[in-house]
Amino acid sequence: MAWLVGVDVGGTFTDFFAYDDATHSVRLYKRPSTPGNPAAAIAEGLGEMRRAFGIAPAAVARVCHGTTVATNALIQRRGGKVAVITTKGFRDLLEIGRQTRPHMYSLQIDHPEALVPRQRRFEVEERITAGPSVLIPLDPDSVARAVEAVRASGAEACAVCLLFSFLDGRHERGVGEALARANGGLYVSLSSEVQPEFREYERFSTAVLNAYLQPVVARYVAFLEKELARDVPSAKIGIYQSSGGLMSPATARSFPIRTALSGPAAGAVGAIATARKAKRPNIITLDMGGTSADIALIRNYEADVRFDRDVAGFPIRLPMVDIHTIGAGGGSIAWFDRDGLLKVGPLSAGAEPGPACYGRGGTEGTVTDANLVLGRLSERGLIGGRMRLDRAAAAAALAPLAERLSYPIERVARGIIEIVVANMVRAIRTVSVERGHDPRAYCLLPFGGAGPLHASAVARSLGIREFVVPLAPGLLCAQGLIASDLKEDFVRSLRIPAADPHLSEIRAHVAELARDAQRWFTHERTAAGARTLHLSLDMRYVGQNFELRVPIGRGAGGKPPAVPSVNGLRRQFFLVHDRHYGFHSETDPVEIINIRLTASAAVSRLRDVKGPTRRRRAAPAEHRLVWFAGARPVRTPVYERAALAAGQLLVGPAIIEQLDSTTVLHPGDRLRVDSLLNLCVEVGP
């Protein structure tokens, strides 16, 4: 027996998804989080789960963990004290950024202050130019002065940020070595190692954020390793990264910034695993929780990756699953704006005090309160009845809104749902229509506690014909963690014309990256058959300021992917250019800016969990009155998810309840339970 355990730490609950890859059985466990020290809930929860399900310590082979420690440290500004060493003449560059302001019309809102104040930014005499060639050699005296200044500043970490280091990292390494010699305990981040890419501000900013997180994440990982070593000594630890794969604790300590957006990425990977099993290659995921909704577009079982994101107001440049987040969740608060229009969110009641119906002191009407008032949620409440919901409190919270509009409570409740649905529809249009994809060709995959509640209405608004609710919609992130591969990205940032004389140069770079990848495969001791390499190039027309990521090919078994002819490369670029910009030119010169090789190694393959097939009609657990579009409530059957067997058919209206979520079928929706117990719903007219 070898258990793989995925642990997803949320603001309120820590979820465990355990899978035995010998017997293919699954165990689910949920316990309250410990926000002060998230690792405590992991260590304790793992022990609790083992005891509850009789899993021996030695049987746990791997613990896959998505951490929000880095994200929270950024949001709450609780990182380490950082110094910066940079090229002479460019001390202010990190503060100037892109010289823009974040809000077009606000005179008061600024980008956040630089994480490293000017007095801890030091310059060294050196200069590399675009050649690359060394215009000014690294001056040892200025390095010695800067190293001493860093020491005197009391910094715990130092980011080294030199111009053109993505082409030639020797000067940065020289400074890094001098820092290490002078102070072995100092954390050092070199911009040429964190993400060796073109454009200094984004590269520097990424390196600074990495340095800022190093002390915090190193402490956290050390604690986690120690605790887990005690409880499950043979378990390997995988830390989840924003690109949608796992990395070793050692890598996480060196590059903590890679975990900063990993939370939503795990959900997308879990959704892809579900989509694969349900044989729906093109899906739009809708992960709606308490405060926000995360949306991703999956094409042919692959999520798009993007490289430029902001975290807590700072740009980072790293591969990240392309996820769009909006402030629409169960806790989103309904309010009137200064135009007198009803709005929902982005302000949320969160988990504390939570929606009014939680009875924990919340007084403002939320999306969850509206669902309760309409009968779509049960008063028996969430988490299998462990948390009752108070309908009277929900109605009382909506009453002031109803009075202002002179409407019945239920009509206001329906309005709140319609508006939050419209907000999500707008966000889905952003990731689909605005990027050249027609949502009607996609299947919606709702998850999170509140996704399946709103899926039918969202799908109908977008003209999407089908949605699929996975078996455990509230635990999909934890599930995604163990469906993930070990992953590492290798990049060469350069500038080569996509023209025949340069093909051998391009191939040489790819071969070199492949050698780096092989070393990594060996170091991580991955099985030879489980290794895959993906090659993509960032390309653009000469003169364009932004490049497009062009997938070129993949190599199985760890073999480097073949690099096609220059014409082949150009054709691939034209396809991507067409999709993004609607046109391409056959004749204009094209250049390559980055060569990217992604190495991944499968850790486990979740097998299908097949449910028993029954043709018998499921009996509803109860009936209750639920408001849909009509003027009167409808007597609606309520089913327990566990009672729905494979092959069963239902026609809406119906409500399906389970431990971690509630699914709403509107009148006319037609549901079929597939052999994997997914709810496949054809949206009614």
Partner 1 sequence: MSRIANTARSLDPIRLEIIRNGLRSIADETFVALMKSAYSTNIKERRDHSTAICDARGRLVVQADASLPVHLASMTGLMRCLLAKHGGAIQPGDVFVANDPHDAGGTHLPDINMAVPVFSGRRLLGFMCNIAHHADVGGSAPGSMAGGMSEIYQEGLRLPVIRLFRRGVLQQDLLDLILLNVRVPEERRGDYYAQIAACRLGERRLAEMTARHGAAMLIAAFDEIIARTARRMRAAVAALPDGAYVCEDVMDDDGLGTVDIPIKLRIEIAGERVRFDFTGTAKQVSGNINVTFNATQASVCYALKALLDPEVPNNQGVLDLPEIVVEKGSLLDAAFPAPVAARANTCQRIIDVIIGALAPAVPQHAVAAANGANTTAVFSGLDPRRGRHYVYLETLGGGFGGRAERDGKDGVQVHITNTSNLPVEAIESEYPLLVESYSLVEDSGGPGRCRGGMGLRRVIRPVGHDCLFNGAGERFAHRPWGIFGGGPGAPGRFLHVTREGRSVPLATKPAGIIVREGEKIVVESPGAGGYGAAAERSPAALALDRESGKFSEAYLARHYGTAKVDRAAE
Interface residues for partner 1 in 625-664 (CB under 8 A)? Answer: 625, 627, 631-633
Interface residues for partner 1 in 225-284 (CB under 8 A)? Answer: none
Give burial (CB, 10 Å; 0-12/13-18/19+) of 66.
Answer: buried
Please identify, among the stretches 237-245, 335-343, 529-537, 647-655, the one whose residues bind partner 1 according to the rule CB under 8 A. 335-343
What are the two backbone dihedrals, phi and then psi, of residue 533, each rounded to the nearest 5 degrees? Answer: -120, 130
Residue (of 368, 395, 359) closest to 449 by Cα position:
368
- Does 324 contact partner 1 by CB under 8 A? no
Cα dist. 236→58, 279, 280, 448, 562 in Å?
A: 11, 31, 32, 28, 33
Separation of alpha carbons 591 and 550, rounded Å: 12
By C-beta, is 54 or 340 nearer to partner 1?
340
8 Å CB contact between 188 and 194: no
Separation of alpha carbons 612 and 646, rounded Å: 6
Amino acid identity of residue 427, one-letter, is A
Separation of alpha carbons 498 and 521, rounded Å: 30
Q: At closest approach, how far in Å is the CB of 479 from partner 1?
A: 33
Residue with tokens 């649905």: 421
By C-beta, is 47 or 633 nearer to partner 1?
633
Q: At closest approach, how far in Å is the CB of 29 from partner 1?
A: 40
Element holding 387 (H helix, E strand): none
Please identify, among the stretches 38-46, 321-329, 540-548, 560-568, the one whose residues bind partner 1 according to the rule CB under 8 A. 540-548
Interface residues for partner 1 in 565-594 (CB under 8 A)? Answer: 580-583
- Does 100 contact partner 1 by CB under 8 A? yes
Q: What is the DSSP string of 401-415?
A: HHHHHT--HHHHHHH
- Does 154 contact partner 1 by CB under 8 A? no
- Does 433 contact partner 1 by CB under 8 A? yes
3-state secondary structure 341-383: CEEEEEEECCCCCCCHHHCCCCCCCEHHHHHHHCCCCCCCCEH
- Does 301 contact partner 1 by CB under 8 A? no
- Does 164 contact partner 1 by CB under 8 A? yes
In the set 1, 23, 75, 89, which binds partner 1 (CB under 8 A)? 89
Interface residues for partner 1 in 132-151 (CB under 8 A)? Answer: 135
Would you give the binding string for partner 1 spanning residues 116-135, x where CB under 8 A is met? -xxx---------xx----x
Separation of alpha carbons 204 and 315, rounded Å: 10
Interface residues for partner 1 in 411-430 (CB under 8 A)? Answer: 411-412, 414-415, 418-419, 422-423, 425-426, 429-430
Q: At closest approach, how far in Å is the CB of 243 from partner 1?
A: 24
- Does 7 contact partner 1 by CB under 8 A? no
Q: At closest approach, how far in Å is the CB of 409 from partner 1?
A: 7
By C-beta, is 198 or 301 nearer to partner 1?
198
By C-beta, is 76 or 545 nearer to partner 1?
545
Amino acid identity of residue 178, one-letter, is A
By C-beta, is 304 or 674 nearer to partner 1?
304
